[in-house]
Amino acid sequence: MTPDKKGEIFLFLVLASPEKMTTVETIGTPIGSYAPDFELPGIDDQVHHLSRYLERFRLVGVIAMCNCCPYVDLYLDRLKNIQAEFGEQGFTLIGMNGNDANTNPLESFENMKAFARTHELNFPYMWDSTQDVTRSFGASKTPMAFLIDGDGIVRYKGQIDDNPHNRPDVVVEHYLTSAIASLCQGQEIYPSQTETVGTSLTWRK
């Protein structure tokens, strides 16, 4: 597939109250197009560049996540297991928090650091305080996965697996794991996109 640098434009209507509605424009990243490059601060107080990750790793999985999402809580162990399984095969996860910390102070940068320590994250966790990168990727809910190959092209996006509500031992379709394994083996990914299930992102008003 020829990479398409043009994003898709989506309009998400976020209901703030019965009387007030906020419209948020989100520039999506279609499958087969280049992922938006970024420079974001991490909880290690370093600035992280996607381009530099792509120089070091064969594959990068960006996870739109946050501190307060119950779905993220259910997936943390699964995400850490994915990192442990594929970390020696030239793969890394990157957590990205694009929730508005002004609306919910629990999503602040300092609370991200505490969250990572408490849950012993084994992958980088970055703060998108402007929400620009989150919009560019087209993330609308947490958690949402984006798998990027070594050329910087998005090859999969959507759910981590098919069971966001219950225990990981009843998962049937391991979407992200299968996508990573397929790329490592030079095979096509199917499905390359799934409908995300999770908590809607909190956008800045």
Q: Indicate whether 44 pLDDT > 80.
A: yes
Domains defined for the chain, CATH in brackets: 8-200 (3.40.30.10)
Dump the DSSP string for 30-43.
-TTSBPPP-EEEBT
Q: Using an 8 Å Cβ cutoff, are 148 and 54 in contact?
A: yes
Mean pLDDT of 162-189: 91
Contact 93, 123 (CB under 8 A): yes
Enter the tokens of residue 101. 């910390």
Give the mean model confidence (pLDDT) for residues 13-40: 63
Q: How many CA atoms lie within 13 A of 185 on its CB side?
A: 9
> What backbone torsions phi and psi does residue 196 show, to the nearest 5 degrees?
-75, 135
Per-residue model confidence (pLDDT) at position 23: 37
List beta partners, residue 28: 8
The tokens for 196 are 């995300």
18 pLDDT exceeds 60?
Answer: no
Averaged pLDDT, 104-123:
97
For residues 35 and 39, give the distance between their C-alpha atoms in angstroms, rounded to a whole number: 13
* 31-35, 59-63, 161-165, 172-176: least confident range: 161-165
Tokens of 113: 């650091």
pLDDT value of position 170: 85
Has residue 99 got a pLDDT over 70? yes
Share of the chain above pLDDT 90, in %: 81
Residue 166 pLDDT level (bands cut at 50, 70, 90): confident
